[in-house]
A and B are shown apart, each in its own frame.
Chain A
Amino acid sequence: MDSIRRHPHQESFVSGIIRNNPLFVMVLGTCPALAITTSLEAALGMGLLFLFVLVGSNVLISLLREIIPDEIKTPSYIVIIATFVTIVKMFCNAYLPALYNSLGVFLSLLVVNCIVLGRAEAFASENGVFDSFLDGLGNGLGYTLALGLIALLREILGTGYLTFGEIFAFLPYMRLPILKALDGSYDYSMSLFTSPMGGFVVFGLLMALLQTKNLRKKDAARAAAIAEAQLTAQEGA
């Protein structure tokens, strides 16, 4: 970790991906994580658009951070974020209409995504343009990976296939049969996972997994501290 601390720019990029993952660690931006993740392609598409919005608004807010007075800080941030969301909506409607139709209202809901506003207020309003750019990139990548993980599990367990090419038209249309055969000879999929309940369950179990890892680390640290205290007590006696 020392190598990362020596390069402060890298720090803002890397921390957003895993250590401070916006979805699993900070638990922000959960609405799309439950609604869009029935299809891996849609989730990755949403992550990509989220990345554009986050990077764009971070950079612009960082550029204007000296000029914006404190009284109108939050409304200005909201206007800037809404501008980028509108632009991304228009470009998505023009060049990726299948993604636009499948995301529906959640594309507009990026305006009130807690992550975008949170990073704007916590980071971009105080740091330089390049750092804000990297921060946006890191957090966007982390969020995309998190969405992709949930969507991967939900789509495979829920529909049995992994479908490509439906939303990103430039990909060839493929259906990978994983839990369900293309001709119906075997079918181990559980459609529970594509329902709303499945979204909550997958998200909850992943969070529990993460919490187990954290607890194990804490237990190990506590055991090490106790052992060390006992050792020093023995030496003192």
Chain B
Amino acid sequence: MTAYGYFVAFLLAVITDLLVDNVLLSRFYGICSFIGVGNQVKSAVSMGVAVTLVIVAASALCWPIYYFVLVPAGLPFLDTLVYILVIACLVQAVGLFIKKKSPALYKSLGIYLPLITTNCAVLGVVQSNTDAGILAGQSLAENFGLSMANAIGTSLGYLLMIFVFACIRERLATYPVPRAFKGIPIALITAALMALAVIGLAGLGA
């Protein structure tokens, strides 16, 4: 494959993971933070940006650790433990980075930053990248490229959906929702309708 072919494949993988196989509405990682983010658009977007940084950095670190440290040492079963420790350290590091670069973003994140460690999306993406193993006829570099495409697509999909969700919930707060549905139930029904929209894209790309 030429360089152009690789680029197109990468872009296609990113878009597939962003929309078709959306991390929140199709794969169901990161739902706890999705529901809990409430109806503040600003904190939702801040959370999405922080999660993006953490997912991309974690994938870039954990994939080499798995294939160049754990597998040669014969310890592939330690992957979960190692990944979660790497993610915990990364969240601290990303927090310090955000504090230095943009104190406003850090303030709007508030208590959500340490919660990113327990965000299923981060560990889910990192773990599923290495769980599948190397397919037939695929080189290590191709697998790494696909993993990074997965990471970038996932985090952008998370950012997009959490932004849309927060906007919808902001409007919903002013509407006369039935008492039984106020709060979390109507949020879940909203998410159901968003998931319905994403189902319509199934089958795009491979």
Contacts and interface: CB of A to CB of B under 8 A. Distances in A.
Chains A and B share a contact (CB less than 8 Å): yes
B185 to A, nearest CB: 4
Given A35-B28, A211-B183, A108 B195 contact: no
A200 B123 contact: no
Given A105-B124, A112-B119, A112-B120, A200 B84 contact: no
Interface residues of B, number: 46
B84 A207 contact: no
B165 to A, nearest CB: 12
Interface in B16-74: 25-32, 35-36
Contacts of A200: 188-189, 191-192, 195
A197 interface: yes
Contacts of A203: 188
B30 to A, nearest CB: 7
Q: In the complex, which of the residues B36, B180, B187 has the most CB atoms of chain A within 10 Å of its own CB atom?
A: B180
B58 to A, nearest CB: 12
Interface stretch (B75-83, B99-107, B155-163, B168-176): B75-83
A60 to B, nearest CB: 15
A204 B185 contact: yes
A100 to B, nearest CB: 11
Give the dominant DSSP class at A's interface.
helix
A163 to B, nearest CB: 21
Contact of A109 (B77, B124, B189): B124
A27 B191 contact: no
B7 interface: no
Interface of B: 25-32, 35-36, 77-81, 84-85, 88, 117-120, 122-124, 127-128, 131, 179-189, 191-193, 195-196, 198-199
Interface of A: 27-31, 34-35, 74-75, 78-79, 82-83, 85-86, 89-90, 104-105, 108-109, 111-114, 117, 195-201, 203-205, 207-209, 211-212, 215
Given A78-B85, A89-B80, 20 more contacts: A27-B36, A27-B184, A35-B28, A78-B88, A79-B85, A86-B77, A104-B128, A105-B128, A108-B79, A108-B123, A111-B80, A112-B84, A112-B118, A112-B120, A113-B118, A199-B28, A200-B192, A204-B181, A209-B180, A211-B180
